C-alpha cells in the first residue's frame, strides 16, 4: 500500500503523535473555546506549509476581520510578505451583510462559488474555514444534517486538506452542533485547563484522525519563539 502523504501541523510534538501530520485530503475540525489558538494554529500551519512545502493556502474568515487577523499573525512573527499570494486571506465577513438579504440557499451557493473560483485561480491545496458555526448560521439550513453531509462531500471532492474551525463553550464537550464531528475525518480539540486556583494551561489533543494511529491524550500547548509546541502533561 502506498504511504499516506501528510500535511504537517507545525505544532512540534503533535506531528509525531499523528505519524507526521494530517493525511492529505482530510477534512479536519479544530474545535475549542474562545482564545485557545484555533485561528493561530490554522494560520501558522498554512503559513509554514506555503513557505516550506510548496503548498498554496486559502484562509476564509467569516468572523475576525482580515486586518485584525493579519496584525495578529504579524505579531506572532509570521512574515506575510514572504508568502505573498500563495496564502490568500478572504474576508467573507465583509460581504456577509450584503449577502444576508439574498436568503439561505444563495448564501451557501455564493460561498461555494467563491471557493470554487479561487480554486480555479490559485489552485490552493489547503483551505481553512473560520468558522463553521458562523457558516452554518448564515446558511440557515432547512435540513441541517443532509445539507451538511453534502457540504462535506463537496469539500472532499475538491481534493484539498481542509481545516474547519469550531467554537466550543468551556462547559461543554460537544465538538459541533450539527454532527460535523461525525462527518469530519479528524478532530483536534483545544482547551483551557485549570491547573490550580490561579493557573490555566492550554491543552491540545487529537480526538480522532482517520487512517492514523495516534494518542488520544491531552498535551500541553505552548507558544514561543520557535512556534507551537505540544508537550506531555506532567501529572502529579
Ligand X SMILES: Nc1ncnc2c1ncn2[C@@H]1O[C@H](COP(=O)(O)OP(=O)(O)OP(=O)(O)O)[C@@H](O)[C@H]1O
**Which positions touch ligand X (CB under 6 A)?**
32, 34-40, 72, 75-76, 167, 223
C-beta closer to ligand X: residue 40 or 201: 40
Cβ 193 to ligand X shortest distance, Å:
15
According to DSSP, residue 25 is labeled: T
Q: Is the bond preceding 131 in cis, omega lying within 30 degrees of 0?
A: yes
Under the binding rule (CB under 5 A), the answer on residue 49 touching Mg ion is: no
Under the binding rule (CB under 5 A), the answer on residue 39 touching Mg ion is: yes
Binds 120: which of Mg ion, ligand X, none (CB < 5-8 Å by kind) = none
Under the binding rule (CB under 5 A), the answer on residue 44 touching Mg ion is: no
Region near Mg ion per CB under 5 A, out of 36-44, 49-57, 106-114, 170-178: 36-44
C-beta closer to ligand X: residue 62 or 147: 62
Q: For strands 186-194 and 200-209, give the pairing.
A: antiparallel
Judged by DSSP in three states, 119 sits in: helix
Binds 75: which of ligand X, Mg ion, none (CB < 5-8 Å by kind) = ligand X
Rounded Cα distance between 158 and 27, Å, is 11
Contacts of 146 (CB under 8 A, 6+ apart): none
| Cβ proximity of 49 and 7 under 8 Å | yes
Provide the CA 229 distance to its chain's centre, in angstroms.
17
3-state secondary structure 172-195: CCCCCCCCHHHHCCEEEEEEEEEC
C-beta closer to ligand X: residue 26 or 38: 38
C-beta closer to ligand X: residue 122 or 222: 222
Binds 216: which of Mg ion, ligand X, none (CB < 5-8 Å by kind) = none
Q: Can you give the binding site for Mg ion, defined by CB under 5 A?
A: 38-39
Amino acid at each position: 500500500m502506498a504511504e499516506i502523504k501528510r500535511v504537517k501541523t507545525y505544532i512540534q510534538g503533535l506531528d509525531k503523535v499523528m505519524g507526521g501530520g494530517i493525511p492529505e485530503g482530510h477534512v479536519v475540525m479544530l474545535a475549542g473555546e474562545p482564545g485557545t489558538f484555533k485561528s493561530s494554529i490554522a494560520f501558522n500551519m498554512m503559513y509554514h506549509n506555503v513557505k516550506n512545502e510548496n503548498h498554496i493556502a486559502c484562509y476564509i474568515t467569516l468572523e475576525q476581520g482580515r486586518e485584525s487577523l493579519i496584525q495578529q499573525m504579524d505579531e506572532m512573527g509570521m512574515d506575510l510578505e514572504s508568502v505573498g499570494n500563495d496564502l490568500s486571506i478572504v474576508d467573507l465577513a465583509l460581504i456577509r451583510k450584503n449577502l444576508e438579504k439574498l436568503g439561505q440557499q444563495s448564501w451557501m451557493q455564493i460561498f461555494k462559488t467563491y471557493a470554487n473560483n479561487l480554486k480555479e485561480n490559485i489552485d490552493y491545496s489547503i483551505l481553512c474555514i473560520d468558522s463553521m458555526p458562523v457558516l452554518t448560521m448564515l446558511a440557515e439550513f432547512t435540513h441541517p444534517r443532509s445539507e451538511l453531509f453534502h457540504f462535506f462531500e463537496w469539500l472532499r471532492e475538491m481534493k484539498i486538506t481542509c481545516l474547519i474551525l469550531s467554537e466550543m463553550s468551556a462547559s461543554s464537550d460537544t465538538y459541533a452542533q450539527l454532527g460535523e464531528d461525525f462527518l469530519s475525518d479528524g478532530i483536534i480539540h483545544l482547551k483551557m485547563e485549570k491547573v490550580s486556583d490561579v493557573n490555566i494551561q492550554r491543552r491540545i489533543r487529537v480526538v480522532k484522525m482517520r487512517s492514523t494511529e495516534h494518542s488520544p491524550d491531552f498535551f500541553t500547548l505552548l507558544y514561543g519563539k520557535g512556534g507551537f509546541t505540544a508537550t506531555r502533561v506532567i501529572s502529579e
